[in-house]
Each structure stands twice: as C-alpha cells, then as structure tokens.
Structure 1
C-alpha cells in the first residue's frame, strides 16, 4: 500500500470560510454558474442524438447503419460511440420538454462546479481555494457548455480525478475498483474514453518517478522496487480501464474510431472545434483569452510553489497543456485537470490570512464576472433567454413538420440533425453531422456540390430530390445565383435569417439519351 501523498493530520489554521464574505462569495459563484450555464439548447448534434435515443428506447436496439440519408451511404456502418447519452437526451426531452432544456444544462453546470470545487477541497481543505479554482475551471470550460455527450464525459473525467487523488491521499485500493464501471460507461458515451487509461497512466508514471527519484543512488533494485510499489496500482487502473473500455458495441473498433477521428482531414478542416487553438481567426475570442489568462495564472502559481508539486502534477500540466493547444475543443480539459496541480501548489489548509485573501479573490472574481455575463453573455455569447444557434426558428419548424412535405432533401449538414428529429422518415436528408461515419470522401463531395451547378443539378435529378434546406449564407452566396436551378423549377418555399427551404415546383426534366 502506498503512503499518503499529503499529511492527514495537519492542524487547521483558522476557518474564515464561515463568515459573511464566504457566504456572499458562495452565493455569487452559484448565481454566476447558473446564469452562465442555464442557457437554451444550442447544439445541433443534440437533435440527432435524441432521435437515436428515442429509437433505442422504443426498439431496444442501437442503429448499426447511418440509416437516415436517402443515398446509398445509409447502409454504411454507424460508429455508435455515443449511444448511452443519446438515450439520456431522449429522457431529458421526455421529462422537461424541448423548450426547457436550459434546466438540464444548468444542472450539468452545477454538477461540474461541485465536482471541481470538491476536487480542490480534497487537496486543500480550503473553502477559498476550492471556490476560486472551480470558478476558473468553469470559466475556461464555459465556451463548450453544450448539451452534447462531451458534457457527460467531463463528469467522468472529474470522477476519475477524484478516485486517483483520493487514493494518493489514503492508499485505499478498494476505491480504485470504481474505475472499471466508470471506464465501461465512458466508452459507451464519448470518444474521450481514451483519457481514462491515459490519466491513470500519467499517475502511474508520476508516482513511480516520485518514489524512485530519491532512491536513484541506492541501486536499480531499490529505485525500481519503489517505483513498482508506488506506480503499480495506477498502472493496474490504466490497464483495467483499457480492457473494460472494450465492453462497447464496437469492441476494439472503438479504439480505431477514436484514433482515426483525430486524423480525419474533413474533420480537421471543416469542423471548427478541430481547428488549432491559436488559429488567427479565433485568437481574439473571449474563450481563448480566458484560457490563456488561466494558463498563465496556473503556470505562475505552480512555478512559485514548485517545491510542493509532485511528478504527477507536472506531467498532468504538460500533457493537457500541450493537448489544449492542439484543437479548440481541448482547453476545456486543461481547465479541470489543472485543478490538481494548482490545488497542490496552494497546499493543505493554508494559513488564515491566505484563506481570507482567496475568499476575497473568489468574491471579486464572481462579482466582476456576473455583470459581464449579464451584458455580453456566457463563453459563447448565450444568455438564459437566448443562445446563438442553427436550430430551426418556430416558423421553420412549422414548415418542416407539415405532413404534406415528403421526399428527399438536399440539406446542409448542420441542419440535418433537426430535420431527422422532426421529420424522418417523411423527409430524408442527404447528410447530417456524423462526419466520422460518413467518411471524408462523401462528406466533402456533398459540400462541394454547392460549388458546381452542373453536378448539383445532376445529383438532384438522379436522386429525385424534392427539397433543399440550406443555411442562409450558402443560399445567398451560391445557390441564389444558379439560374439553371430556376429553370428546373426550383422555387422558394420559406426563408428566415437562418435557413432557406426550396422546393421543386414542376417535374424534373426527362433524362437525356
């Protein structure tokens, strides 16, 4: 059994956390978190997952193919790596309704905040440090607070960090058994399940090095034995999680999918979230500025208090710091993982004077952030009453839900999920947002059709397409100027500031011999 990493019996150094300032800080923090996270459902992917979740609930089976498109691609295998959250999202819609999903997002916000604060509390026993670190982590993560499987995966990541840090402190191996069911659920929820074995592996290497380094002059047998004893339990967790993750519908294929996704050219060039974090286009965005600010503060703290950090802390910072710069979707991970080294740098039960300063800092942070969020919105410019999104407007929903509309639809991928949710199989799309399952070639080919009128017309005729559902900018920039489409009978059915719905007003021309 490994020795505790932090002393368990250090005397308390005062308890200012129970004062009025601490209460005010907590209230302000909770209000801030609720306002920043209780926003309307913005993610277009949600509709697809909720529809698949409904199918699973009704049939008891997970769809094995793409199923929804009208082209031959419908028979291609579907990477059902997020089927469990799909069922959960269907239950959310059934319980609170489509218009109150902000309550679910707010609930996830409070849950993540509580897990982040309690993780910091494990390492510091400081109210001020816990509140401050949790607020900063939520600030970094808020730009991706969407109702997507990723939000469930963040809960799993924090739960794993709790398990590993708790074992660092008390050495109770039995608690590590929880990592196995956690790995199974994670692998059936999101492609980030790979982080489970990776994080456990980082703890294994870090704790092994922590134990071996002081014994490096005592001979290989001494330092190797210490390394095995300290790092062995974490290595066992990493191996167990890697094996348990195979309990999913794809088996080993889930690993292949997760690795292939990161190398997909279509994903990395078309999807914003896979763009490099420091891309010039996004460098001035509020969430990038927040991330860089928190990163700088974290680095300053750990460098000043570097004598308190363990090898594991440095490895976590290095691994997730580098990952955060790889793509726009990854800084959120750094925000939560950095709690561990930052809390360790603050130390267990800081002196009363330091505690008061941290409570004051948390109060000032929440008090300053609250009016900014009220005025400018959260990390992606959303408020409890409005969120920018590609979701159908009420009037577009009424058109799409018209039972008289039937047939094949050439649509923008972003609009595919809600089209499927509201109208499939009456209306069948050409594509949706599952780029990983469609494959690069098909995904890019569909997008390129809008840049070639001749090929687009041939495609519409070949597949007997009755409708086109386009983003407003695509219609204004390209399709509006395709005169031959008008000759083919294409007319406007409905348009708003987000999307345009076209229909074919006369039979297509007979095929040329």
Structure 2
C-alpha cells in the first residue's frame, strides 16, 4: 500500500500572523463600513440627480441656473460636475434614493482599498498600511458624503499609486494612465488642478533629490541627471493640465476653479469654506482628528527624518498649508500624509519583528473604532439607520407632492435642491446651493429678505410667491413680522422646517409699494 501523505501543520508563528492579519483586516473593513454606509445626507446629490436627468433627456448640459423663479435663472451655470450628475441620476433611478446608501458605502470601501494597497506597498507592512489607511479615512470622514468630491479622492489616490509605482519601477508607459485620470477628474470635480500640482511636486522633489545625491559630480552632469529624473513627472504635470481642457467649459473651467474660493459670502456662510482655524471649526471633532493626524505624521517624520526626501517634504508642506486654508481641504491631507509616512517606513531595512505588534495594533484600533462608531456614529454623527440632515421627512414629501400645489417658493437655500428634485417645475425655488452661480449679491439679498419686512413684501408681490419653505433657523427671523401673521399660515411643520402658504385674500390684495422712508 502506498504511504499516506504526511500533512505538515504550519508553524505556530504563521498561524498567529494569519489570525492577526485576518482580525486586523476584518476590524478595519467593519470600521470603514460603519463610517461610510450611512443614509445620504448631502443636499447636493438632489440637485445633481436632477441635472443628470435633464442632461440625459435633453442630451445637453444646462448653461444657466435654470430652476429659480427670479431673474437669476439666466445666470451662467458652470456645470463642472456634469459627469457625476449623470451617474447619480442613473444610480438614483436604478436603486432609488434610499439605495444610494450602498453606493456611498461601496465608494468608501473602494477608497479604503486603494489607500490600503498604496500604504502596504510603500511601507512593506500590512499592519502599518492598515493603520495608515484607516487614519486617512477617519480624517476625511467628516466630508464623506455622496458628492463628486468622492470620485475626486479616488482619482487622487489612483494618481499617487501611479507616481509611486513609476518611482520604483521606472516604467514610463504606466504614466500614460495619468491622461485619462486628468480627463475624468476635470469633468468630475473642481479639484482637478491638484493632479498637475502633485505631479509638479514630484518633478521638483525628485529632481532636487537627484541633485543632492550627485553632489560630488560636475555641475553639468548633476543638472542633466536631475532633469532626467524630473522630466517624466514634469511631462505628466503638463500632460494632465492639457488633458483637463477636454471638458465642456474648456479654459473657462480653469478660471472657475481658481476663483471659486474667492467669494466672501462662501467663506462666511458656507461651513465647508470657513477658515480651518475659525472658532466654528476648531471646536468640532474633525479638527481634533486633524490635529491628531498631524501629530502622527510629525512623529513618523521626526523618527525617520534621515529617510525624508524633498518630495516627501514638499507634499506635506503643500497639503499642510492647504489644509490650514479652508476646512474642506483638511480631508485631502490624510491621503497625502499616509503616502509619505508609508514611504518613510518602507524605505528602511525590513524588520519582521515589528509586523506582529503592528497587526495587533491595527486589530485593536479597528475594534475600538467599531465600538465608538456603534455608540456615537461616524465623525459627523451618522449611523447606518439614521443621519443628521436637512432631508425632507416623509410627511413633508407627501405634503409637497400634492398636484394642486403650484407656484413660486421662497426657501432656505439648503432646501432648494431637494425641492427641485421632487417638485420642479410645478414648484420653483428662490435659490439652491449653487452659490457660485447665483453670486454673492443674490445670496445677500436672500438673507436680507429674512430681516427686512418691506423688502420681503415687495419680493412676494413682484414674483407672486405662494409658499415659503424655511428651516426653523430662518423661520424665527420672520415669524414676528405683522405681514407674516396676517397674510400667511403654516401649512405643515416638522422638527426641521416649516411650509408656509399665502392666504388667498393676501394673494389677491393690492400691495402698496413702500415709500422713500420704508
């Protein structure tokens, strides 16, 4: 009889490491799922789904603001996010708005997967890679809404993959993938300029590092060597810049991207554009997480400073400065920081003895994160079953769906997008969240209407406003106006907002214009 094969059990160390790897990976995946599989709360997605519907139906991108009932409807509209708008419309039609939760979560897992792959490859450690990837996801989680920005983050991490892979392999053909990345990015989100910018940082940093390494060579030889190293990255930067012109706005998109953050109204009233060090942001959890990420980054850089290259330093400096400009840019910092930290960790000699503690740490951090997310929600307080948002409640949706309800609606700007999604053109808003297209002056007029009764009465009469849809924040500003008490009644109210209707007698009564003294 033939002898039975001898089954050799794997060494205990291998079994332990496999168990730790599995535990760490599962814990981190569950954590990221809890952070990202939450109901869609962004008011932008309503507007983008509607715009996507119009683009698909008309086979053309709207070039004006279009939806409001005032003169501003003819303002130019920079539809720089037209491609995600089509995607959101098709997804909304395929899985319903409630099903978009799974789309948002899938994008979260995809982003985490890209980050983990990048960090593990650069650090040569699964434990370190998981910890760093989770850090980036937590830093960015306060902005993790189903918006075009998510696609931009995926493209940015994909570009980092590409540049670091070329850095290690020297395969220039792989750099050609930067061109489709640039085209997709430019037609997806206004942050597309980051692509050429990152490539330019690599060109400068790698060139200077090459100069430094050849300090003993003659100057012409040093500069030739530096240029040989920098040129491919410079070509990527220029190529991405040119490829990004393949968009419906052409050069106009460049002007839009450079001037978007110049709006004083945006910086004052819109939370995502406030300065990072403003009191409204420094007192929130996302800022504390950002500070912790800075501390981790500085700790890694300080302990491994001999491995720090010029590219590493420039990336951290550029995105650190950007993060301190506006609160929305904080989300970008984590993805750059983990790439730099992972490269520094992986640049030294391999230390097998470190992997087990790192895996155990990743499993522990993941488990603690899961416990915290189950108790308190994600970074902005959302759970898979509930989310803080300005989304309409089901009773409000039913109220607005009445066919007989038609006309112009004066609304809080945050509510305009969902009103458009659900009721346009039967109901037309005064404004939605595209403040860049409406302009600072129009936004300030809308704000002034909430405190100036004579101006509000004139606006209502001029545009035959039949309804108001206001967040409670805005309703308290007008509720004591005599004309509101006499001419309007509450049609419906919930814990978020109020729907006011104009009394029939008020709608038919003549309005006397205010005199010079108001």
Same fold (TM over 0.5): yes
Partner of 1:389: 389
State yes or no: 1:360 paired with 2:360: yes
Q: 3-state SS of the aligned residue for 2:466?
A: strand
When the two chains are superposed, the root-mean-square deviation of aligned CA atoms in Å is 1.4
Cα distance in 1 for residues equivalent to 2:56 and 2:457: 39
Partner of 2:52: 53
Partner of 1:68: 67
Cα distance in 2 for residues equivalent to 1:281 and 1:124: 36
Cα distance in 2 for residues equivalent to 1:222 and 1:508: 86
1:407-426 superposed matches below 5 A: 407-426=407-426
Cα distance in 2 for residues equivalent to 1:442 and 1:253: 22
1:184-223 superposed matches below 5 A: 184-216=183-215, 218-223=217-222
CA deviation string 1:177-219 (max 9, x = no partner): 1111111111010000010000000001000101012334544
Q: 3-state SS of the aligned residue for 1:409?
A: strand
Partner of 2:444: 444
Cα distance in 2 for residues equivalent to 1:274 and 1:409: 27
Partner of 1:503: 501
- Answer whether contact 1:264 1:440 (CA < 8 A) is retained: yes
Structure 1 504/19 Cα, relative in aligned 2: closer, same or farther at 3 Å?
same
Structure 1 473/196 Cα, relative in aligned 2: closer, same or farther at 3 Å?
same
Q: 3-state SS of the aligned residue for 2:246?
A: coil
Cα distance in 2 for residues equivalent to 1:222 and 1:420: 63
Cα distance in 1 for residues equivalent to 2:291 and 2:65: 39
Partner of 2:373: 373
Cα distance in 2 for residues equivalent to 1:359 and 1:277: 33
Per-residue deviation at 1:320?
0.6
Per-residue deviation at 1:25?
0.9
Per-residue deviation at 1:16?
8.1
1:305-344 superposed matches below 5 A: 305-344=304-343
Report the structure number with the largest CA radius of gyration. 2
CA deviation string 1:225-278 (max 9, x = no partner): 122111110000000111111111111110111111111111111100011112
Per-residue deviation at 1:17?
8.4
Partner of 2:42: 43
State yes or no: 1:229 paired with 2:228: yes
Cα distance in 2 for residues equivalent to 1:401 and 1:260: 38
1:174-185 superposed matches below 5 A: 174-185=173-184
- Answer whether contact 2:104 2:146 (CA < 8 A) is retained: yes
Mean Cα deviation higher: 498-507 or 378-387: 498-507
Cα distance in 2 for residues equivalent to 1:58 and 1:447: 34
- Answer whether contact 2:17 2:356 (CA < 8 A) is retained: no
Partner of 1:400: 400
Listed as ranges, the gaps of 5+ residues in structure 2 are 1-12, 514-518
- Answer whether contact 1:16 1:352 (CA < 8 A) is retained: no
Q: 3-state SS of the aligned residue for 2:60?
A: coil
Moved over 6 A (4+): 14-17
Per-residue deviation at 1:57?
1.5
State yes or no: 1:466 paired with 2:471: no
TM, length-normalised to structure 2: 0.94
State yes or no: 1:130 paired with 2:137: no
Mean Cα deviation higher: 190-199 or 209-218: 209-218
Per-residue deviation at 1:509?
2.6
Per-residue deviation at 1:512?
3.3
Equivalenced residue count is 498
Listed as ranges, the gaps of 5+ residues in structure 1 are 1-13
1:51-130 superposed matches below 5 A: 51-130=50-129
Cα distance in 2 for residues equivalent to 1:278 and 1:511: 47
Structure 1 15/57 Cα, relative in aligned 2: closer, same or farther at 3 Å?
farther
